[in-house]
Amino acid sequence: MPLLGETIGANLRRTVAQYGDREALVEMQSGRRWTYAEFGAEVDLVSRGLLARGIGKGDRVGIWAPNCAEWVITQYATATVGAILVNINPAYRTHELAYALNQSGVRLLVSATEFKTSDYRAMVEEVRLDCPALEELVYIGTGDWDSLREAAAGVPIAELHRRAAELSFDDPINIQYTSGTTGFPKGATLSHHNILNNGYFVTETIAFTADDRLCLPVPLYHWNGNLRNQKSPRPRRGDTGCAVTFGDDAGWRRRVAGSSRLHPYPYYFSTWVRGKEVG
């Protein structure tokens, strides 16, 4: 079976052209939904916003947030402009955050404002002066995110297409950190080719169809959620799936009920059984 030889941005454009009216993304905790056409348009908007902020090929963009739609949009937008997305564990403390930002050279950080008991704004401010590469912060759910989208007005769509056409599928677009069990985490670099074909072969192996819906409870920062989120269409059969993202632990039955595929860890199954969430 031949590998897919295209960038994630090119793959998304092809998917949008073929399945524009189909649902692409559902964020259960908010009820927000996007078709592929709507999702593609949002990715283009944020991609142009990144270009307007001076982010381009090879630049590092950090993402520090629990599962949310903006996580997925940022993932595709950075890939579209050739920037390298740096996944940051939502559970990190300040010393771990500073290490990841400095070790990878993050220029722009997209972040939630808080998560559980962590005040992300305060934590970022605590380490910011020690992270010389960090130039800009974009907080999800605030005017920062709106401003990033609005900045797209300064970059024509033709310029985005020109930049995207210059990319190679072998270009690096993601840094994922190991657990760091015996020391500081190590950054593993992945390319369009790595990530896209991982998603492609998963959908081939489990025979996704156009009517399938994927429930993705695992963290997006982790390789499982990050790579499974790349649901490549299946060119030979013309099939694709739909990701469902959510960020809290309540209401599993309601969220899983509308999905035909589920990609959890074994831990999730034991939790559901103990909680009597599944029969």
Pairing of strands 106-111, 60-64: parallel
CA-based end-to-end distance of the chain: 39
Q: 113 near 79, Cβ under 8 Å?
A: no
pLDDT at residue number 259: 52
Which single residue is written with the structure tokens 């993601």? 174
List pLDDT tens digits, range 155-194.
999 999 999 999 999 999 999 998 767 788 899 999 999 9
The pTM of the full predicted model, rounded to 2 decimals, is: 0.87
List pLDDT tens digits, range 225-278.
565 555 544 433 333 444 544 445 545 555 554 555 555 555 555 555 565 554
The distance from CA 78 to its chain's CA centroid, rounded to whole angstroms, is 9
Tokens of 1: 């079976």
Q: Which fold has domain 8-274?
A: Rossmann fold (3.40.50)
Q: How many CB atoms lie within 10 A of CB 52?
A: 17
Which single residue is written with the structure tokens 């380490």? 127
Q: Where are the domains of the chain?
A: 8-274
